[in-house]
A and B are shown apart, each in its own frame.
Chain A
Amino acid sequence: MTVYVLKRLAYIVAIMAIMSGLVFLSTHALPENTAQVILGDYATPETQAALEAKLGLNRPLGLQYAEWIGGLLHGNFGRSLILEQPIAPILWAALAKSAIIAVAAMMMISIIGIALGVAAAVNYKRPFDYIASALTYVGLSVPEFFWGLILILVFGSYFQWFPTSGYSEPVDGIGVFIAHLALPVITLTIGLQAHVSRLTRSSMLEALDSNYVRAARARGMPERVVIFRHALRNAMLPTITVLAQDFGFLIGGIVAVETIFAYPGVGRLLVYSLSRHDLPLMQAAVLVITAVYCLANLAADLLYGVFNPRIRYGRAVD
């Protein structure tokens, strides 16, 4: 197990190294370099050359890369060109705000997805099952940003129940804090719970059809116990896997959702830095998101091992 975790960590380090190289080179492939972004449209060749020399942009690429990585390892992400502030505090604050909606959404996705899946399986081929299946299809086929817009229309503009953009600190009132989270979290939940409920439904159907469930029923167990203790517990394994995968989708979804709800998280920071060509901010955001993604995948795989005693990591799992 330890060997497996160490191997996976080494793998993550390799991925991060590739990504950092890619990000670093990509910023040098841009039509405009850092000096031009700072100087704006009024740059003369002389001022630009002077600034490039001052920033060390005319030194060898390898040296610049090594310096950048060295800084990163010391927690120094450099300064944002457009915001004109050190990046680290901005980045960590944005990451924390994204984590709030990610965790809230994951909880909603697990609860609603599993509940819907179990209910659909128990009501197999009855109206509830068909309605749930249709909803699953719609949930999977409509992208987050369109859900977000519909929710803004209905709950923001029409009913005016929730604010449609921004973020509020918990110290300014817990109600306002939650109200700001509501629409982004609901948007993320609608799409991703569909994966979970679809898979829970099919593995529940399989479990309900198994001999151990038949045996439990034959012994006169109450249906509630059969469904939750015998069937669901065995059906949970694929669900856990898909929940873990969904975390990857969630990161993609968060970028769109934060943009549409103007939520100050790391996804919006990334879009901002990319569209404004704020190179140091963009490098930092891309790397941090990649790291979170890799670590989440690792956590998911380890969790899977905990829930499935038949899998013992240490040898190749296909």
Chain B
Amino acid sequence: MTLFLLPYLLGTLLLVVIPALATLALAFTDYNFIRPPVWDGLDNFRTLWASPLVRLSLRNSFLFLALAVPLRLLGALFLALLLQAKRRPFGLFRAAVYLPTVIPEAAYALLWLWLFNPLYGPVNLILAWLGLPTPAWLAEPGTAVLAIVIMSFFQLGEGFVVLLAGLQNIPHALYEAARVDGASAWQSFWRITLPLLLPWLLLLTFRDLIMSLQNTFTPTFIMTYGGPYYATTFIPLLIYEIAFDIFDFGLAAAVLVVTYILLGLIALGLFNLSGLNADEITF
């Protein structure tokens, strides 16, 4: 049996695990890919601490996450609750909600570049028609992050599907019993649905903290290249520039390490806050 697992293990080791661990080590070296890495201790961390661009990019990234992750998860939860019914048109509705998630990133970025065009993009044309203010979206530092959050919201399919599966896993008998006891729909949501979905929600939060940040790379690369005035320079784009434009692999690795330590702390805090223990999250 082990033989069947072997190709996957070797592939993952070589392409994912070893590169991730090596990056961790490279953070403590001076490495520009022509000369072999030289150990230089915490030098990279001092450089990044002194760099206003790194600090700005960290701030942008965590602002993005603070807006995008709750919005995407609550959206996915709301849509899963609304559309879980096993009735005729609901299967189609679910498919429609998932559809934007499969649109290839590059195509999706071009689409939103047009939708958010300040003068003749459909978003502003609709806002103008409703008599609402029409911001310059990607052309203005204040709204550019918001625009990226909005476009990431429409690709919430993964969380949506996982939560649908989680909802179907809740034994129906629990709801029956609650109804017999005279519980309202609202009460059974808070007392049954939410506690039983909590492990799923927590896992999705962790994944979304990492993935929605990672997924900013393509839109920011194609749409704004980090602008205007660095407002959409999130960590993945910054790392790309440090690593593949100025070839300072050590510094890029250090930025990554700092980012994921901060994300890890957030995840740990959320985990403690949820009151779950690790055994309750099983597969």
Q: Are A and B physically bound partners?
A: no
B residues engaging A (CB < 8 A)?
none
Interface residues, chain A, CB within 8 Å of chain B?
none
